Amino acid sequence: MLVHSSSEYSCLSSRSTSLLRIPLILILRKMLFSREVESRRVAVQGFINILAQFRVMGALPSSQASFSFFFYIEPNNHNARANIIVRRTLYEGLSDVAKSNVKLVHNIMELLYQHLSTFIDIKEEILNPVKLHKTVTTQGESVVILEPLGELLLCLSKCKSFHDNRRTSRGMDDDEDDDFVTTLNGICSMFDSLVEKLAYCDLDDLNIGNISCSSAGARGKTNIMYVEVMIGVYDGLLHWVFCNDALQSPDKMKDLIALFKTQRKIIEANERET
């Protein structure tokens, strides 16, 4: 009778898992480019599960890992309405991966920050730093959201919280490379600038057009989508401030209240006119 040691079983199990993973990834890649929304959503969720459970890419250099992640985040232009469903699944899943697979937190944060930067302009003279025109698209007679910016901000904010909690619990201060420290500083600076500009602004500063504009026309439909994007942005910023010592800092608490009040003004103005 042939008896295998525990190490042999472990080796066999690892080899079997690897053999199964390759065809699974090929199937998911094919599904990711499907015209069917549900197929693409399932594919994204499948990749998320692989990242969370199989610990893939944990040992890869940052640039390689980021490139692989970028494959999942690229939009599919077959159906703009499908993009937002897939992206919301992606952002929700990436925050779960960051929580469960600590080896990928840095890669995820670097990717999300790079992607977020394409939608934000924090120049001092810019009143609304959100590039709203990049977040929506026209498809036929409809105007739809292409980038759910609120979910992107929320995902990045959650990843930052997971990162901070992990460092605090393990007492790690010097285990991060210079590139990630630069990214982390950039993330904090971008969020702080967004809070500073958007917490105390007037509705006229947001460049969302006339909220009362009729929703029947293209301009009105675009304004409605802009409003929806901005409401989501405020949700992401509220999470950021709350998770960064808002309860211990009077200034942060002031920012939190100001963000909430401005968001309510947008919601109430939109409700009055729609």
pLDDT by residue (tens digit) across 222-236?
888 999 999 999 999
Residue 63's pLDDT is: 44
More confident residue, 49 or 116: 116
Render pLDDT for 239-265 as a digit per residue (tens, 0 to 9): 999 998 777 888 999 999 999 999 999
> Which range (56-65, 77-86, 134-143, 174-183) has the least confidence?
56-65
Q: pTM for this one? A: 0.83
Up-side HSE of residue 30: CA atoms within 13 Å toward CB? 5
Q: Does residue 59 surpass a pLDDT of 50? A: no
Render pLDDT for 156-215 as a digit per residue (tens, 0 to 9): 999 999 998 888 777 655 567 888 899 999 999 999 999 999 999 988 888 775 555 555
Residue 103 binned pLDDT confidence (cut-offs 50, 70, 90): confident
The two beta strands, 142-145 and 136-139, are: antiparallel
Residue 270 binned pLDDT confidence (cut-offs 50, 70, 90): confident
- Nearest Cα residue to 145 out of 134, 130, 129, 157: 134
Q: Indicate the helix (H) or strand (E) that contains 25.
A: helix 6-32
Q: Does residue 152 surpass a pLDDT of 90? A: yes
More confident residue, 150 or 76: 150
Q: Does residue 69 surpass a pLDDT of 70? A: no
CA dist 116 and 236 (Å) reads 12
> End-to-end CA distance of the chain, in Å?
77
Report the largest interatomic distance among the alpha carbons of the chain, rounded to a whole angstrom: 81
Q: Does residue 18 surpass a pLDDT of 90? A: no
Question: Cβ of 144: how many Cβ atoms within 10 Å?
Answer: 17
For 17-273, the fitting CATH number among 1.10.357, 1.20.1270, 1.10.10, 1.25.10 is 1.25.10
Mean pLDDT of the chain: 80
Please check whether residue 198 is in contact with residue 237, taking contact to mean a CB–CB distance below 8 angstroms: yes
Please check whether residue 231 is in contact with residue 266, taking contact to mean a CB–CB distance below 8 angstroms: yes
Q: Does residue 70 surpass a pLDDT of 90? A: no
More confident residue, 191 or 51: 191
Question: Cβ of 105: how many Cβ atoms within 10 Å?
Answer: 18
